[in-house]
Structure 1
């Protein structure tokens, strides 16, 4: 899963000298939460709705409305943009972008070419769409959660139960929970749920949750 396949290509941008009210208007009109700031084709910053909120007048201000408007009219993007900016290369994976956003607590990343030119932007919304697509959730899947013993051959042992009933596993993920336990999440178009659950329980893999997600 490469970023280039899921990013928004050729995103709307602003220059550092763009007036704040113009940048705000672009964001509102296009329903964006952030805009890359470009100089000579390269990203030098980013302006977000959070940056704009920081300079918005509060009810406690003592300035008259015309004074506030006058001050804001003189401000440009370079006065409030976030910099230095975190970017990601276009040949990186979606997983790398998701980790960067999570580690830095940000909702979007400008995507740059090998020579640093802006080619796109990827946001948390794009990541969510990838997650839904990869998991095949829109088409409808059965999601089964079970206690997972992390031992040699455990994955094959579980898969053999489904194979015995001529059912394919579309995705299999095992992980440690915040409490330190191990769980596995299995997704697919499953029937004979009761029989599978009983066999997994018999092997020591307790099924703790079953749900159907997406279209019936």
Structure 2
């Protein structure tokens, strides 16, 4: 999977001469936490809610509400933005983008094309909702089966044959490294709520299995921001 497949393309941006007050209002109105700063269609920085909060006087200030508003109208993004923005391109793979974010300790990657032109944005939440959740079968009905010590191609093939024999479809599948037992377990989600016969056959074939408890909820995604989590 590439960044272009799950990035948010409708990106709200500001210029470096935008006031902190306006930037704060945009963050609040659009329920987002970060704004790329663009001058002349070129990325020059990033401003976030924490940066704006750090720029304001503390709660112990003696400034009145009017004085605070006046201060916010005079301070600009240019002074407080992060000028060292971590970026990726639309062609960056999802695993590389995630590694870049983790290595740099950031929760947001700005996606740029030629000459630092902003074309998208991805956040930690995007990696979870667009990649991890589907991998784990979140938001999809069915039964999730935990098959212990099933990390070899031969044992995975045996499980697949039994699933096929019962005419079930595999909704999601992944290997889970067990830190307690130093083995790989297979987690399979099937499109059925009645897996009892399959469970019997798996056990009869020598597998140790459990049915994992899971919670189903419909998944919803943001249309113009990357901060919306699945609705519970």
| TM-score class, shorter | 0.7 to 0.9
Task: Tell me the CA shift for residue 76 of structure 1.
Answer: 1.2
Q: Which residue of 1 aligns with 2:63?
A: 64
2:145 corresponds to 1:127: no
Cα distance change on mapping 1:96 and 1:204 into 2, 3 Å? farther
* Distance in 2 separating the partners of 1:37 and 1:72: 17
| Residues 1:191 and 1:12: Cα distance change in structure 2 (over 3 Å) | closer
Does the aligned pair in 2 maintain the 1:47–1:77 contact within 8 Å? Answer: yes
Gaps of 5+ in 1: none
Contact 1:140 1:212 in 2 (8 A): no
1:4 maps to: 4
CA distance 1:103–1:154, shift in 2 (3 Å): farther
| Conserved 8 A contact 2:134-2:172 | no
Q: For residues 151 and 120 of structure 1, do their structure 2 counterparts lie closer, same or farther at Cα, with a shift above 3 Å needed?
A: closer
TM-superposition CA deviations, 1:99-129 (whole Å, max 9, x none): 3334433332211114431111122333333
Return the alpha-carbon distance in structure 1 between the equivalents of residues 193 and 50 of structure 2.
48
CA distance in 1, matches of 2:101, 2:78: 23
The answer to whether the Cα contact below 8 Å between 1:143 and 1:213 also exists between their aligned partners in 2 is: no
Indicate the residue corresponding to 1:196 in structure 2.
Answer: 198
Q: Alignment partner of 2:213: what SS?
A: strand
- Hey, what does 2:211 align to over in structure 1? 209
Asked whether 1:160 is paired with 2:161, we answer yes
Question: Is contact 2:150–2:184 with CA below 8 Å preserved after alignment?
Answer: yes
Alpha-carbon spacing, 1:194–1:83, altered in 2? closer, same or farther (3 Å): same
Aligned equivalent of 1:147: 148
1:32 aligns with 2:32: yes
Match of 1:49 in 2: 49
Q: Deviations over 1:132-162 (max 9, x none)?
A: 4565543413211221243351211221221
Structure 2, unaligned runs of 5 or more: 219-232
How far did residue 77 of structure 1 move? 0.8
TM-score by length of 1: 0.83
Of 158-167 and 99-108, the range deviating more from structure 2: 99-108
Taking structure 2 as the reference length, the TM-score comes to 0.78
- Partner of 1:90, secondary structure, is coil
Distance 1:42 1:143 in 2: 47
| Conservation of the 8 A alpha-carbon contact between 2:12 and 2:36 | yes
**Distance (Å, rounded) in 1 between the aligned partners of 2:199 and 2:88:** 43
Paired residue total: 215
